[in-house]
Amino acid sequence: MNKYYTRACNFYYGTVSKTYIKKKKSVCLNGNNQISFDKIEIINRKKNKIINVKDISKLSTKLKNKVNKDLKNIKKKKTFKTLNLSHIPILMGVVNLTPDSFSDGGKYNKKNLAIKHVDNLISDGAKIIDVGGESTRPGANDINPRKEWDRIKHLLKILKYKKYFVSLDSRKSFVMEKASEIKINLINDVSGLKYDPETINYLKKTKKPFVIHHMKGTPKDMQIKPSYNNVLLDIYDFFENKLKYLRKEGIKHNNIILDPGIGFGKNLKHNITLLKNISIFHSLGLPVMLGLSRKRFIKDISKENDTKDRIGGTVSSCIQAYLQGVQILRVHDVKEINQAFKVFKELQN
């Protein structure tokens, strides 16, 4: 049985997008008239073809029904709690309270430095603060849940009194339970909710919003020769199957974000394929998030000596994601990324 996938493509932006939508020459992406498209790519595991949206009616009945169903998800306005997804990208600022994270390990471990860093991220334009106490860099070992909690609890207790949208970057239900006693708006579990069997029960009980993140393997082994039959379609199927499982388990709400997991069990070719075709995930009907900040693929592409910053590569890959309608970007350098988008969007108008 051939399974078909629908990817929006051939995008327009800013003033051009608004004009084309009014003239019915293009279709609004995610309810946002700043980005629209007039073509779709129809994909299966053997072949693909690109057609104009206006030619969908010429497809066979079965394929036409499938594409129209996907198109409905691609076009519809996405909502997520208090976040305004009509003004994208939403920047998620990273706060690693770890000694060994790949980019900023140990930098904000003192309480006063962490608080100052969070306040700076917000003033620089972050709408979400993602707090983590365990490194999930390639090769990282697991740590004890209590140790992880001890690293983040003081900052979270302070954030309880600030009106910030706080995300918890953790794989452990113990840490999630402890954080929920204080204040937490989002669960960001990089394991795809599979590390801790109790996580699903926690999410069902609390009805907390969460991210479904794709990772092949574990941080310890994920970069040891990762392979896929088709990285784009395999990850799409992973999300689709995970959503079916969650619905079966009784999680019915739509406050769910999809993160294909750039760099988590992917080589350079996998990462590039995902970034070039990231708009395929809009047909699942949920917001899409990407963590591109300072990732190794930037070094691999640029052939430059390693650097902790990699800001140039982060900016360019974030803009590539935005150009396909990705709603949320997880970044370290909020000020620089925010500035880049202010300039880029003005130039589009």
- Which residues are marked as active site? 295, 330
Taking phi over 0 as left and psi of -120 to 50 as alpha, with beta for the rest, 217 belongs to left
Answer whether 52's CB lies under 8 Å from 260's CB.
no
- In angstroms, the CA 256 to CA 112 distance is 32
DSSP strand pairing (32-43 vs 27-29): antiparallel
Tell me which residue has tokens 């990407």: 290
Taking phi over 0 as left and psi of -120 to 50 as alpha, with beta for the rest, 81 belongs to left
Copy the structure tokens of residue 247.
């619905």
Compute φ and ψ for 307, nearest 5 degrees.
Answer: -145, 150
Copy the structure tokens of residue 341.
């988008």
Answer whether 160's CB lies under 8 Å from 182's CB.
yes
Compute φ and ψ for 241, nearest 5 degrees.
Answer: -70, -40
Three-state SS at 173: helix
DSSP class per residue in 118-162: HHHHHHHT-SEEEEESS--STTPPP--HHHHHHHHHHHHHHHTTS
